[in-house]
A and B are shown apart, each in its own frame.
Chain A
Amino acid sequence: MKKLILATAVAATMGLGTAQNAMADRIALVISTLNNPFFVTLQEGAQAQAEALGHELIVLDSSNDAARELSNVEDALSRDIDVLLINPTDSDAVVSGVRTANARNVPVITLDRSANGGNVVSHIASDNVAGGEMAGEFIIEQLGGEGQVVQLEGVPGASATRNRGEGFMNAIEMMDSIELVATQPANFNRSEGLNVMENLLQAHQGIDAVFAQNDEMALGAQRALQASGLDDVVLVGFDGTDDGIQAVNDGKMSATIAQQPARIGEFGVTAADRLLKSESVEANVPVPLQLVTQE
């Protein structure tokens, strides 16, 4: 895959792309990072759909750096793209990039994370609030409506943290007999998930269920629970990464709320395709989430 991106980039810089296929529309995907399986899969989904629809897709990696993101947008615009797909590093920081594209009259579609300003034609993302609710309801059902629950939060202040947390709280607050005994940040990170879960196990006895706001933290927590011999704790992750789904199938996690990153990428390119054909595009395109449990 990396070779393919490289080849696309090289071809594009050398002008070979246009020479070989002058009719292909150019779509740029400025992606927050390719240093994370989720976004790699998103990019692969977009790439596959672009090939299927016969568009040229230029992928630029922002490495989670807002400054690089802006220069990626500028670089993409200087290559005369027709549509800009952007997966922001940060909803606020991306605004200047969106405005730059607006000024050049290139339509912008945001993927996964939204932009807090500028003119965006369409936003394509999983519904994180609904996903959090799905996790809460699954836990309530597994516990028979009663028990002590712990939540591992993502990076404080991130929109995914807020929305997943909000959905989860909506679900469990409906039940008086479900008690949230702790909610602590582990920054979407596996090793922090392990450490924080170990610490919480020291402070709380009789935890019945854990909701981790992503699979990485859930996999870390799973190590801590396993080491303490607490194999029957209901453990729910979020994202449906390869490792997460594997853990669910192995019975190490109870469930994961799977995002479908490949479909986010695919929907993005489809929306771009509709724009290029002057068809209408919804302002918000929710990409369905999936509750994945052991088969």
Chain B
Amino acid sequence: MSQKENNILLGHGSGGQMMHDLIENVFIKHFGNTILNEQADSAILPVSSEEIAFTSDSFVIDPLFFPGGNIGKLAVCGTVNDLAVSGAEPLYISVSFIIEEGFPMSDLEIIVESLASEAKNAGVLVVTGDTKVVNKGKCDKLFINTSGIGLIRKKDRYISKAFNIKTGDFIIINGTIGDHGMAVMNARESFNFKSAVESDCASLNKLIREVIDKSTIKFMRDPTRGGVATVLNELAGKIQLGIEIDESALPLDKSVEAMCELLGFDPLHIANEGKVLFVAGEQDGFKILEVLKNNELGKKSAIIGRVVSDHPGKVVLKNQTGGRRIVDSLAGDQLPRIC
């Protein structure tokens, strides 16, 4: 076994002994399981005759480390959540690294450890992966791609189709909005604001499973890049009904609110990484709220609006002073490379 290097070198991506050592000493060390340990070119996975959900996500976040997490944790949450909001139970993920030459080994280890820990937390296995190293300057420190597979039970298949949504249905969210975007922005820019805002980055599959098992939802999606506004606009367009949000009902962390005031941002357009929007009938809506509030990841849940027959295809915000205004999808790039 060769001596442990301090930095990633081009040789670590070359396929030879150095790469072998990197895989053994860093990746297998943290991710190891019977499937992965086989180290075959493809992971052979036992599945039943249900439908498979499959998703892929790449993570190019800058900075790599931010309050509340790092790119490793995010790489799991993002993919797990994409599967979970489709109604699937996330099972397996692949993790591919593109690493810039010179990247500190110690940072890689911390990130991999976080990734492994989050995978364990979410109950998914890392079963395959890839490593590439590129010359200095050819990628910005570290990019990660995770692809994930989950199983969808027949009874949950309807969830991603947005059927049966009617006027009067509730829109519910499991907590405060804009935390992730603001936390990352604080960590990245030289603006020099200090706040305790942390990314809300979290795997939501267990929370979602609880909600699905104990109630009936009509639709759900996670508001990542583009924020709550973008997801709701997509939904309104899909169902050709209107959506009305109540500004005073939006859960908002005070520091996030202050940062938005300071910099002129709209929290509805800022990325979240630990939030899910549910649409449900009124009765189910109250039940869902109850389930959410009893969960660690849903303490600040709230019913934020309803589906309405007015202004089909559009999202309207009723603000605290009684006025109404249209809420658009995010135009342009409020904050680049936020996930």
Verify that A and B bind, or say they do not: no
B positions within 8 Å CB-CB of A? none
